[in-house]
Structure 1
Amino acid sequence: MIFIVILLVALFAIGMFRYFRQRQYLKTLTEQQFIEGYRKAQLIDVREPQEFKNGHILGARNIPLTQMKQRLIELRKDKPVYLYCQSGSRSARAAQLLHKKGYTDLQHLKGGFKKWTGKVKK
């Protein structure tokens, strides 16, 4: 029993550590903040191609999280990177990968595409 409690506390601590560490390099933006900045940035949809085809933010490029490592050459380190996915979890993982590769200006959309009410291309 005590082992399970220790394990749960350790998992919670690791999760909290990752959360606060991520906040140092990834800024979560509201839809309004996202709209204000994404035209001057690299707008990347990290969802899979079929999700992208079903609708995406106008001006976005599709670089799925599953292909991100192989396609890093397509992204510039000297320009902001605005990321989004369906709900926010894949874009956070993409930001973690980009951060490890030296990208510093990383933003993602709070709530992801499912919360987006702006212009969409289908």
Structure 2
Amino acid sequence: MMWQDKKVLVGVGVGASALAYWMFTRLRNSLNSGSSDFIPVGTVKELYVYPVKSCKGISVFSFYCHYLGPISGEHFDRYFVVVDGNSGRFYTARQKPVMVTIECKIADGVLTVKTKDGRSVTVDIDKVRKNKVLRTAV
């Protein structure tokens, strides 16, 4: 009787080991096969954030995907637009193609917009928020 119990125990051990080995190799092959639901379509070389719509972008290493758009540090993507002070109409590069040459950056809560000929304008964003000089557009 003792001998039979040992045979059963060894048989169960060998069977369990074989099953574990089979499952391991199947899982490993599945992971290494490269079969995936995702199909690679390209490689990201650079990321840009455009703080002012239609102006020159700022190259960033990474950004956070917020529901309002990409954010990298103080740079919110397309958070600002150029507006005609008289009519209140905003401009894009379609109406004013020269806008794509305008550089902009945000540092310490100050937006600096600089034209190709060297002229620049600064806007203290915190002061604008404090004075509630805000307009929203869709």
- Which band: TM-score by shorter chain? under 0.3
- The structure that has the greater radius of gyration is 2
Give the alignment's TM-score, normalised by structure 2.
0.23
User: Which structure has more RCO (C-alpha within 8 Å, separation ≥ 6)?
Assistant: 1
